Amino acid sequence: MMYPYMILSDETEIVHSHIIEENGVQCVEVHFECPSEEGFDVARCILPSYTWIKREGFNDKEIDKFDKFLHCNAHLLYKYAASGGIKIA
C-alpha cells in the first residue's frame, strides 16, 4: 500500500509505503514521480539506508535534491507510514 505524502511545485508526486520489516529493520519505500514528455520520471528509495532502487528520467542533481529532502523528512515519513498515511480531515 502506498500513501500520498506531498506534491512539489514542479508536479513531482511523493508517496510512501507502510512500515516494511526486513531482517529486524523497519523500512519505508518512498516513490517520486513527475510527468515528462516521455510519460513519467520515477525514482524509488528505501529508508533508512537511503538506497535508490529505481531511477528513470531524473538526473543526478534532482536525485541529490530528493536525497536531501528525504534526510529532512524521514522522521515524518516513518510516523505517517506507521499510522497508515497522513490523516486529512
User: Residue 21 burial by CB count (10 A; 0-12/13-18/19+): exposed, middle or buried?
Assistant: exposed
Is the pLDDT reported for residue 88 higher than 80? no
Is the pLDDT reported for residue 89 higher than 60? no
The candidate with the shortest Cα–Cα distance to 78, out of 35, 29, 12, is: 29
**Which amino acid does the sequence have at 3?**
Y
> Per-residue pLDDT tens for 34-78?
999 989 999 999 999 999 999 999 999 999 999 999 999 999 999
Compute the Cα dihedral for 49, 22, 74, 70 and give only its sign. positive
pTM > 0.75: yes or no: yes
pLDDT bucket at 87, cuts 50 / 70 / 90: confident
Helix then strand count (H, E) for the chain reads 1, 6
